[in-house]
Structures are given as C-alpha cells and as structure tokens.
Amino acid sequence: MGTALNALKMLEYFSSSQPEIGLSHIARLAGLNKATALRHLRALEEFGLIEQNPQTKSYAIGPAALRLAALREIAKPGLDGARQKMQAAMHEVGESLHLTLLEKDTLQTALVVETTQHSVRVSLDPSEIIPVNATASGLCMLSFGPAFLLERLESDTLTRFTDATMTDPKIIRDRVAQIGQAGWANSNGSFEDGVFGYAAPIFGIDQIAIGTIAIAVPEIRATSARQPLILTSLHTLSKELTANFGGQTPETFPTEFHP
Amino acid sequence: MGTALNALKMLEYFSSSQPEIGLSHIARLAGLNKATALRHLRALEEFGLIEQNPQTKSYAIGPAALRLAALREIAKPGLDGARQKMQAAMHEVGESLHLTLLEKDTLQTALVVETTQHSVRVSLDPSEIIPVNATASGLCMLSFGPAFLLERLESDTLTRFTDATMTDPKIIRDRVAQIGQAGWANSNGSFEDGVFGYAAPIFGIDQIAIGTIAIAVPEIRATSARQPLILTSLHTLSKELTANFGGQTPETFPTEFHP
DNA sequence: CGTTAGTGGTTCATTAAATGAACCGCGTTA
DNA sequence: TAACGCGGTTCATTTAATGAACCACTAACG
C-alpha cells in the first residue's frame, strides 16, 4: 500500500556520504526488486527529483529538489513554521518557549513565544547572545552542535551569572557528555535565579545541531510532576523543528526523554 | 502508468502565487478524483514533501523539500552540473560556450567551456563584466531578466565596442522586444569583431532570468547552415540549465528557436 | 581463455494495489 | 430551509505494480 510513498522512500538512502547510488545497490538498500526499483527511479527522474549520471549510470538527487525548496521557503519562511509549532506547544505546556539558532559562531535567540496562561512567567531578551555555559540551550548546543564550540571552551572566558553557573571546563564537559546521552539539557537557575530551563537540539542536514528549542519554567512551577509533560513536548518539538528546518535527527538520538 | 509520477505531478500546482491549495481545488487542477488526490497528498505528506495546514486544511510544500535540496547541493554543486551539460553541448556543436549569471546587479561570466575541435575559437576572459548592450547574453538578460536592467538603460553609459555596437536605448529596446518573442538573442560582432554570439535565458523559480547560456562562434563558421544545430542546442541548454538551477521556464516561452 | 560474479536493464504472466462514483457530515451562502 | 461547496470515506471494479527469469555487458580471476 502506497506505491508513491515507496518510490519516495528511495530518496532516503541518499546522504552526504553517499550522494550517488547504483540501481542494484539502492534496490538492495530499499529491499525492492530491481525492476520496481528501476521503475520508481524512472518516475522520480521524470519529475526531476532524481538524476542519472550518464557515465556511471548511478543515481543522485535531482534539481527539482531545489525548485521545491524555493517554493517551500515562499510558503513557509522557516521561522513562521517554527512559530506555529512553538505556539501549539506553548498552549500544551503553558510555559514560554524560545528558539535559538547558531548564527556564524554565536548562539542567538531567533524566536520567543511567551505564555499567556500565567502572570509569573519567564521573559527573555531576544537580542541577547546565549552563554553556552549557563543555559540549557548553550549546554545542549555544546553536546550536539559543531565541535568548535566545545573546543574553544577553555580559551573562552566563562561568565558567572549566578551561584549555580558552571565555569570549570572540566565540569562542563562532564555535563555535556551526560546531555549527549539523555538528549536534553536543563539549567536550574544557572543563568538567572528562579528560572529552570529545558532544552533539546534542532539538527541540520548533517545531523549536527543548528540550534535549540527551550522551555523556560519559573522555579515555583518546576515540579517533578510537570517534568514528563515538559519533556515529551520538548522531544516532539525537537523532531518537528528539525524537520521544519530541513534537518535530520541522528538515529542514535533517544526516542523519548527521561527525567 | 506511473502512480508515483502522478502523485509527484501534484506538486507542480504549487507556486509562489498559490503556495497553499485545498483538496478539491488541487484535484480539479490535476484532473484527478478527490479520493486519489487525497491518497496522493497523504503519501507526499508522510514523506514530508507536503504539509497540511491544520487550521485551513489546505496543503503546501513540506519541509522534506529543504532536506532534499541540501542533499542535491552536496551531490551536485550547481555549476558542476551546468559544466557537464555545457560540455556535452560543446561536443555536439563544436564551439565554445559560456554561462553568465546575474550577480547582484551585474552580469558576470560564471563558467566557460572552450571547444577543442577547432584551433580558431572564441576565448573569453572569465573575469569580465558583460555589457548588456553589446553581447547576446546581455540583450537576452534585458529581455528575460529583472525589469531594473531595462529601466536603468538610459541612465547607464553604454560603451561602443565595435562599429556594430548598439548604443541608442530606443534601438536596444526594439531589439529586446524582438528577442522576447524569439526566445534567443544574437550579436554579430557587436562586442568583438569576428565573433558571433547566440544566447538564451536561464530562468529562476519566479520565471525571471537569473542568467544566460551563450554559444560563441567565429564569423567564418557562422554559416546559416549551422544555425539550426546551434539553435536547437541552445534551446535544450536553456531548459536543462533552468532545471539545473531549480528554475522554471515560463509557459509562454517558445518550444523551439527559429532563425 | 573460459568461468564467475557483478552490473544496468527488460519481459510478461500473476497479483495486488490504485481508482472513482456515490456517499457522509459539516459549514456557508441564498 | 435548501442548495452548494468543502474535506474526507467507502467498496466494487479495473488498472497498474510486481518480481522471477532473463539478456547483454564488464571486471576480476585462475
């Protein structure tokens, strides 16, 4: 059931490490008969989503992908799609959310969705640069983002914001390793007193984080009873936003978040 | 014949002017039964190439397009694909080709493929900025490119390169209108004596030219007998390169070029 | 030099999946 | 109230997808 879908699923086997695949190979990968694999490829090729190298006879993603991506950007300019998903989650959890993206080499707030359900809520300055050592987003980015962030940890001056702020690179690295296992990060008042943060990565095409999605909870509401709700919301957001920005979640990433 | 292809063809109906389409509407556009249209949309949606707006229930291009485009860029970085197509055409026609792209507001040579078949051939300096009034590429760009190029024609100083160079904006505008009808432009020694140029547009997603592909022929070989070959090559290149860069050829564009 | 194992691609009887007319429930408009 | 259009569903009918066996070709190997 779903011929079209089966055809499309063949596209999943192309990756940055394997941008060109031969007929027999992709048939084996997809568990399809060569004949059907070929017919699917031909259909995709006619549409332009697949292209055959006339020399090697092997197949690669075609130019139609570019056209569709351009259309996508017109229909949903990235952040708009993210905002909608964040707003939906905000209604579920009843807390403020913020989306941070890695711009060049700093982590910046791209979008803030504030809850309307509580008068006591966490507000965040959208122009602030996010310190990697003091926020859940920052720690998350150290775990799942590009390696240079971790590497320059020692050479950076790590500001102490509160008593809970970590400034020792060794301790931070330990924490980062834990987060890499769990899939999510938290910060309990290490940036601002009374603010608990929960963050999860948003992955790019190469399965390296391009940003994070975070839920900020005032300490009074940060009870262990509310954690499961927050963590499941965080997990679905991580996956949805990764998809929204055209990224790919690594297979090793946890399928759910545990406290 | 080709369920997958029929499903994919539904994507063709999304455009910048119509980025969201409802079920009944798209079924009508594609000439499909609502039931089959829905099943196709569901398949595309599961893959992520289509997304349904939960409020309006209408459909739009999904985030998977971004992922595929990113993969495409890794596999075939734009110009590489263009070079291959140009080389194939070069072998067919036996003349030098050059690809020019509109960078910001100037027309620049992006790629040159020189023929190896003749010792007398046209060479082009890749760093040169292409004058719009003197080259086939320039005239082509005036016809099919963004409007501002034509609008600033009067305010620009138009250099006279040879006796055949057009410098009167009025005459140029007439010529541009002709080219708009024909689909291709030529320049007979208006940039350099003894060089005949033939050019056709490369369109972007919005059906406005983002560049041109040109064939440069030494006057001695620019016989009327060779024109048909050159023009058909030019036409297929125009379409192929438009596709290569993820663009879309307007429906009003000629299906073949006539001398 | 023949054998083997791999490739990309084709054929055609069999089978499974795509199809579409009619239908439902719902919200708008007349 | 009635008529229309919408998104979505159902199920008998038909059409198109499927896959085992096959061909032609290339590369490696003894």
Q: Write down how long chain A is.
A: 259
Distance from CA of A69 to the nearest CA of B (A): 5
Residue B122: per-residue pLDDT: 56
- Which bases of strand C sit closer than 7 A to a protein CB? 6-12, 17-22
Kindly state the DSSP code that residue A10 receives in the 8-state scheme.
G
A9 beta carbon to strand D: under 7 Å: no
Contact A231/A259 with Cβ under 8 angstroms?
A: yes
Model confidence at B104: pLDDT above 70: no
Nearest residue in chain A measured CA to CA from B65:
A69
How many angstroms separate the CA atoms of B159 and B166, rounded? 9
Contact B79/B103 with Cβ under 8 angstroms?
A: no
Residue B135: per-residue pLDDT: 92
Residue B244: per-residue pLDDT: 86
Least Cα distance to B175 among B199, B202, B148, B156 occurs for B199
> Phi first, then psi: what are they for A117, rounded to 5°?
-85, -20
- Give Cα separations from B246 to A14, B81, B149, B200 (angstroms): 19, 12, 22, 17
pLDDT band at B127 (very low <50, low <70, confident <90, very high): low
Full pLDDT tens readout for chain A, 259 residues: 578 888 999 998 888 778 889 898 998 888 888 888 998 999 999 898 998 887 788 899 988 888 888 788 778 777 778 888 898 899 889 898 999 988 767 887 888 887 766 555 555 555 567 889 999 999 999 999 999 999 988 888 888 888 889 989 999 999 999 999 999 999 988 888 888 999 999 998 889 999 999 999 888 888 888 999 999 999 999 999 998 888 889 999 999 998 8
Nearest nucleotide to A6, CA against C1' atoms: D17
| 3-class DSSP state of A222 | coil
- Which bases of strand D sit closer than 7 A to a protein CB? 5-11, 16-21
In angstroms, the CA of B23 and the C1' of D6 are apart by: 9
Contact B176/B186 with Cβ under 8 angstroms?
A: no
All structural domains of chain B with their residue ranges: 3-70, 76-244
Query: Are A49 and B8 inside 8 Å of each other by CB?
Result: yes
* Chain B contact set for A66 (CB, 8 A): 69, 72-73, 245-246
How many angstroms separate the CA atoms of B100 and B92, rounded? 20
How many angstroms separate the CA atoms of B204 and B40, rounded? 27
Contact B34/B23 with Cβ under 8 angstroms?
A: yes
Residue A41: per-residue pLDDT: 92
* Chain A contact set for B203 (CB, 8 A): none
Q: Which of A40, A65, A67 minimises the CB distance to B205?
A: A67
In angstroms, the CA of A165 and the C1' of D8 are apart by: 54
> Phi first, then psi: what are they for A190, rounded to 5°?
-85, -10
Model confidence at B120: pLDDT above 60: no
Residue B145: per-residue pLDDT: 93
**CB-based burial, A13-24: b 16+ in 10 Å, e otherwise:** ebbeeebbbebe
Residue B209 C-beta-side C-alpha neighbours within 13 Å: 33
- Give Cα separations from B255 to A40, A144, B140, B239, B252 (angstroms): 28, 50, 17, 10, 9
In angstroms, the CA of A57 and the C1' of C2 are apart by: 28
Domain B3-70 grouped into CATH 1.10.10.10: yes
B61 beta carbon to strand D: under 7 Å: no
Q: What CATH class is the domain A3-68?
A: mainly alpha
Query: Are B20 and A75 inside 8 Å of each other by CB?
Result: yes
B52 beta carbon to strand D: under 7 Å: yes
pLDDT band at B185 (very low <50, low <70, confident <90, very high): very high
Instruction: Compute the average pLDDT of residues B133-149.
Output: 93
Residue A125: per-residue pLDDT: 57
Model confidence at B108: pLDDT above 70: yes
Residue B78 C-beta-side C-alpha neighbours within 13 Å: 14
Nearest nucleotide to A56, CA against C1' atoms: C8
In angstroms, the CA of A2 and the C1' of C17 are apart by: 8
Distance from CA of B172 to the nearest CA of A (A): 32
Distance from CA of B78 to the nearest CA of A (A): 9
pLDDT band at B147 (very low <50, low <70, confident <90, very high): very high
Beta partners for B200? B213
Q: Look up the CATH number of domain B76-244.
A: 3.30.450.40
Residue B123: per-residue pLDDT: 54
